[in-house]
């Protein structure tokens, strides 16, 4: 009956070495009745460094983004109200030019229908 939110969250990140890291986050809206939980687990390998041509990285993640807690998530693959797997990679084409590709495949939380997205970006950093 109200539009109030009371959200708490917890985040963890552990780097196994300079190349591999595992991270996760969980959030909950204690005032919401439905779709009040959000979480993600992500395994990262390396990462493109904008200053170093030829560097690259990749990741695999599971995302569960309840729309009453993850109002506007910053993931470019998954979006609010979805759950599923996301994979991505990035590569430094030239100094200060990084290309990224992400693919999400999962379901919409409210309908159970398929949710799929392919996202690409080229960033020019100055």
Q: Domain residue spans in the chain?
A: 7-124
Residue 2 has pLDDT above 70, yes or no: no
The share of the chain scoring above pLDDT 70, in percent, equals: 98
Q: CB within 8 A of 66, min separation 6: which ones? A: 29, 32, 34, 35, 36, 37, 38, 80, 81, 109
- CA 91 to CA 88: how far, in whole Å? 11
What's the mean per-residue pLDDT of the chain? 96
- CA 114 to CA 31: how far, in whole Å? 28
Least confident of 1-5, 18-22, 35-39, 122-126: 1-5
Q: How does pLDDT run across 53-101, given as a tens digit for each residue?
A: 999 999 999 999 999 999 999 999 999 999 999 999 999 999 999 999 9
Per-residue pLDDT band for 4 (boundaries 50, 70, 90) equals confident
Decide: 89 and 57 in contact? Cβ < 8 Å. Answer: yes
Residue 1 has pLDDT above 80, yes or no: no
Least confident of 13-22, 52-61, 71-80, 116-125: 71-80
């Amino acid at each position: 009956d109200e539009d109030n939110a009371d959200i708490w969250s917890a985040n963890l990140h552990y780097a196994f070495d300079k190349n591999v890291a595992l991270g996760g986050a969980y959030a909950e809206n204690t005032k919401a009745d439905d779709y009040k939980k959000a979480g993600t687990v992500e395994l990262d390998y390396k990462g493109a460094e904008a200053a170093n041509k030829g560097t690259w990285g990749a990741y695999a993640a599971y995302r569960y983004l309840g729309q009453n807690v993850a109002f506007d998530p910053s993931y470019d693959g998954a979006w609010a109200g979805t759950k599923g797997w996301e994979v991505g990679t990035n590569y430094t084409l030239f100094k200060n030019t990084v290309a990224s590709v992400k693919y999400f495949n999962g379901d919409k939380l409210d309908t159970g229908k398929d949710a799929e997205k392919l996202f690409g970006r080229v960033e020019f950093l100055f």
